[in-house]
Copies of this chain bind each other. A is one copy, B any other.
Amino acid sequence: MEIALSEAKNAARREEVPVGAVIVNKNGKIIAKDGNRTQEMKDPTAHAEILTIRKACQRQKSERLVGHDIYVTLQPCKMCLEAIISARIKRLYYGAPDTSIPASGVYGITNDKAQKSLALEIYPSIGEDESIKLIKKFFKERR
């Protein structure tokens, strides 16, 4: 998560919303990391998670990342969550909660049998404080 936070800081330096992501393989080795680049790439899908999944899939030469884990500094939006599920990632660790997503469970995922069957394990609040600090600072400077 420290490396994801460092990617988030790099994103902030690029004037992007500071979110970073890291994917590690079954052996705990980092195979992809990146930060948010929606403005730089003029691409609303260029969230840290999507970029990292794409990189990891290229590296693994597969559209599936079975047994891999992803670390994200912010709770993924629904687009990214679906991408994480589609990629068959095993565990999602994230830092700050996204306050724009209803608090009742994580996207209601914990109560959704269909998604439960996909067996994505979700661990919130990892490195939460620093992640929140980064995002608050970013938006404070811009308001």
Contacts and interface: CB of A to CB of B under 8 A. Distances in A.
Interface stretch (A4-12, A21-29, A75-83, A133-141): A75-83
Contact of A44 (B77, B78, B86): B86
A50 interface: yes
A61 interface: yes
A97 to B, nearest CB: 16
Interface in A109-143: 114
A112 B50 CA distance: 25
Q: How many copies does the complex hold?
A: 2
Contact of A42 (B63, B79, B83, B86): B63
A58 B46 CA distance: 12
A74 to B, nearest CB: 15
Contact of A63 (B44, B50, B64): B44
Contacts of A41: 63
A61 B42 contact: yes
Contact of A82 (B39, B54, B79): B79
A77 B80 CA distance: 12
